[in-house]
Amino acid sequence: KNHLKGKDFLQLSDYSTDDIHYLLDVAQELKAQQKQGKPHPYLSGKVLGMIFEKSSTRTRVSFEVGMLQLGGHAIFLSSKDIQLGRGESISDTAKVLSRYVDGIMIRTFSHDSVEELAEHASIPVINGLTDLQHPCQVLADLLTILEHKGKLVGLKMCYLGDGNNNMAHSLMEGAVKTGMNFSIASPEGYLPNGKVTGKAIEAGKLTGSTVEVTNNPQEAVKDADVIVTDVWTSMGQEEETEKRLKVFESYQVNEDLCKLAKNDFIFLHCLPAHRGEEVTADIIDGPHSVVFDEAENRLHAQKAILKLLLAK
């Protein structure tokens, strides 16, 4: 029985280890079906509303294509064009959309707005990125690691750069839920959210995962199986760009730093990337990088989320 039907997908900490593996299994099945050209219209006649308050390439295209491949349809709703952008309340928007569509994906700034939308919607709400979390990306990342490493339990994942960021938080949650050890190196003032970290440490006790938070990139990357980074300036922080270039300088993922990782480490980045800033071109375009498999897996991972949450 599909116990995820009707649920929201707001952050990985709401999902059990089994739930995450269930999603990953379904993602692999759907990926195989799609590669074999087998139709899989599990959501025929279903419609996803997609609210975007920030830019997107991958999230928008992968959700839209995913709904089409599942036999449904997606509607792109830019917050600039819908009444939400002119001050209509989140709760009214949630109630109205719940009368038309079968699920809502939202990308916005405040995580609280997504929680509020989910509270007032009678249909599943999927977080397509907030300032705090990016769970769809991390489900795709877990799928990518599983494909390249054949397992998740016992691997060491290292994240370098801005710790107080959506990717850092969701990766931490995804790692501890699946038995990976997580290390993160960020400068003082840019450490991950304390609440998210505390909860992750607790979750790790159930799976045997550890969480290590440090300012020292060399220490964090030591013997890592998976190295991940993200932009130093996230959407909405553009005014701080210059300051951030200096603050994060010594956290760049480059050849020297990667020498400290395992020989067969893989490199992930959710993209978009800035070559020469958070990562050098020789790493992101080199043999250890799996960033385009990772980008592709957004499609397959999200189709699993859609299939299970919006199930008939």
Write out the catalytic residue numbers: 107, 134, 137, 230, 270, 298
What is the spatial order of strands in the sheet that 103-107 belongs to?
A: 73-78, 47-52, 103-107, 125-127
Annotated ligand binding at 298? The verdict is yes
Question: Minimal distance in Å, beta carbon 294 to ligand CP?
Answer: 9
Q: Does 127 bind ligand NVA (CB under 6 A)?
A: no
Determine if residue 57 is labeled as part of a ligand binding site: yes
As given in the structure block, the two tokens for residue 100 are 């038309």
Contact of 182 with 172, CB cutoff 8 Å = yes
Residues 54-83 that bind ligand CP (CB under 6 A): 56-59
- The DSSP output letter for 295 is H
Does residue number 96 form part of the binding site for ligand CP (CB under 6 A)? no
Region binding ligand NVA by CB under 6 A among candidate stretches 141-149, 181-189, 230-238, 275-283 = 230-238
Question: If binding is defined by CB under 6 A, does position 137 make contact with ligand CP?
Answer: yes
φ, ψ of residue 278 in degrees (nearest 5)? -70, -20
CA 60/CA 58 separation, integer angstroms: 6
Q: In whole angstroms, how close is the CB of 102 to ligand CP at the nearest point?
A: 22
Q: Please, what is the minimum distance in Å from the beta carbon of residue 33 to ligand NVA?
A: 27
State phi, psi for 105 to the nearest 5 degrees. Answer: -105, 135
Instruction: Give the chain's largest Cα–Cα span.
Output: 55
- Under DSSP, the state recorded for 253 is B
The reply to whether 108 sits near ligand NVA by the rule CB under 6 A is no
Is 201 an interacting residue with respect to ligand CP (CB under 6 A)?
no
Least separation, in Å, of the C-beta of 231 and ligand NVA?
A: 5
> H or E segment at 157?
strand 156-160
- Structure-token pair, residue 158: 């290292």
- Kindly tell me which of 64 and 225 has the beta carbon lying closer to ligand CP: 64
> Residue 120 region, left (φ>0) first, then alpha (ψ -120 to 50), else beta?
alpha
CB of 89 to ligand CP, least distance (A): 26
Minimum CB distance to ligand CP smaller for 59 or for 108: 59
Picked from ligand NVA, ligand CP, none, the partner binding residue 57 (CB below 5 to 8 A depending on kind) is ligand CP
3-class secondary structure, 182 = strand
| 135 is an annotated ligand-binding site residue | yes
Residues in a beta bridge with 62: none
Does 59 show up as a binding residue in the annotation?
yes
The reply to whether 300 sits near ligand CP by the rule CB under 6 A is no
Strand-pairing partners, residue 289, are 267
Say how many residues make up the chain. Answer: 312
Q: Write out the binding residues for L-ornithine.
A: 166, 230, 234-235
Q: Write out the binding residues.
A: 56-59, 83, 107, 134-137, 166, 230, 234-235, 270-271, 298
Q: Write out the binding residues for carbamoyl phosphate.
A: 56-59, 83, 107, 134-137, 270-271, 298
Residues that bind ligand CP (CB under 6 A): 56-59, 129, 137, 270-271
